[in-house]
A and B are shown apart, each in its own frame.
Chain A
Amino acid sequence: MEQPNLSYINQLSGDDNVFKQKLIDVIKKEFPEEKQVYFDNYKCKNFKLAAENVHKLKHKISILGLEKSYEVAVNYEENLLENNTAGKEEFENILQTMTDFITTL
């Protein structure tokens, strides 16, 4: 399984550790909220809304350097828009991997 990393965040921050911490704090706050909204919409079978949530989560997937996972999310988003849930398990595994990584920051 592809692992998250801080390459993009480090590149963006340069020597600015204050910004780096600020960005990590924003992600730590926003990611669980976005994830929860996705799970809620999925549970209620609001697949179009769940697709929007996946769309939003894609940015964080790419910020954490998960290039292959990003493609998984792109396909899953498209599937959800067609009321097709193929790719759910793989996508939710990605969310779990990100959650585990973010808690170490």
Chain B
Amino acid sequence: MNCIIIDDEATARAIITQLCSNIKSLNILEEFPNAIQAIKFLNQHEVDLIFLDIHMPDFTGFDFIQTLKNPPKIILTTSDAKFAIEAFEYDCIVDYLVKPILLPRFEKAIIKAEKTEVGRTLEPAVDDKDVSSSGNDLYVNIDRRLIKIDIPSIYMVEAKGDYILIKTETKNYTVHSTLKKIEDKLPDSLFLKVHRSYIINTKKIIDIEDNSVLIKNDVIPVSRSNRPELMNRLNLL
């Protein structure tokens, strides 16, 4: 795999270069102290894997990823574990290494990168039969245009006064409607109202803690009365 390293710290770049030298399948094309230089390089070269520091001045690792139309595989390198949740948002991120990085953990990340196909969804496939009962698409009226939303891509809906905020994998939509109306349009097999202001796609849950669920990087409250139904939906061990 052809790789580049982006890190504003020379010491970190030297360490990653050394770690890469232990793995025959890796070929380091270039290293960069900032993301801007890397973007210029990527406009002219194809790479398979980027080692990317998150915490860089002016232009963070996440800012960088958002500039890429077809991002290659990315392994994040950071001194903080606190960005791990945000990393879940990007399909291109195959692993997350906390510095100082040791060789066994680095090797594990490379094996993961070699096995991962960029762009594949990490969520389990939705049962087509479940969705077909109400159709795969939902049309919403925004500024006099009917916009099509792929139902399984919706991960949560939030009530906002006279409007609802529909959050999908790729985009958010604010629509003049009620939670009750959209609840009737969404398949019960996927969606559950967990709070008077929230409907969630249960297939997209990352974790559950006491009276809240984590979906993408949103923490959604779960009301006491809705919690039993939520627990019933889970495939608990």
Contacts and interface: CB of A to CB of B under 8 A. Distances in A.
Contacts of B10: 26, 29-30
Contacts of B99: 59, 62
Bin the interface of chain B by size. Answer: 10 to 19
Nearest to A49: B57
Given A23-B11, A26-B11, A27-B11, A59 B18 contact: no
Interface in B78-120: 79-80, 99-100, 102-103
Given A12-B18, A23-B15, A58-B79, A63 B100 contact: yes
A12 B104 CA distance: 11
A101 interface: no
A11 interface: yes
B18 A19 contact: yes
Nearest to A33: B10
Contacts of A29: 10
B9 A59 contact: yes
B8 interface: yes
B23 interface: no
A46 to B, nearest CB: 12
Contact of A59 (B19, B57, B79): B79
Contacts of B165: none
A12 B12 CA distance: 12
B15 A62 contact: no
Contacts of B11: 23, 26-27, 30, 59-60, 63
Nearest to A20: B18
A19 B103 CA distance: 15
A56 B100 contact: no
Contact of A8 (B14, B79, B80, B100): B100
Contacts of B79: 55, 58-59, 62
Contact of A55 (B12, B18, B55, B102): B55
Contacts of B103: 11-12
A22 interface: yes
Interface in A46-81: 52, 55-56, 58-60, 62-63
Nearest to B103: A12
Contacts of A8: 100, 102
28 contacts: A8-B100, A11-B102, A11-B103, A12-B18, A12-B19, A12-B103, A13-B18, A16-B18, A19-B14, A22-B14, A23-B15, A23-B18, A26-B14, A27-B11, A30-B10, A30-B11, A52-B57, A55-B79, A55-B80, A56-B8, A56-B55, A59-B11, A59-B99, A59-B100, A60-B11, A62-B79, A62-B99, A63-B11
Given A30-B9, A62-B100, A63-B100, 11 more contacts: A8-B102, A11-B102, A12-B18, A12-B103, A13-B18, A23-B14, A52-B57, A55-B79, A56-B8, A56-B55, A63-B15
Interface of B: 8-12, 14-15, 18-19, 55, 57, 79-80, 99-100, 102-103
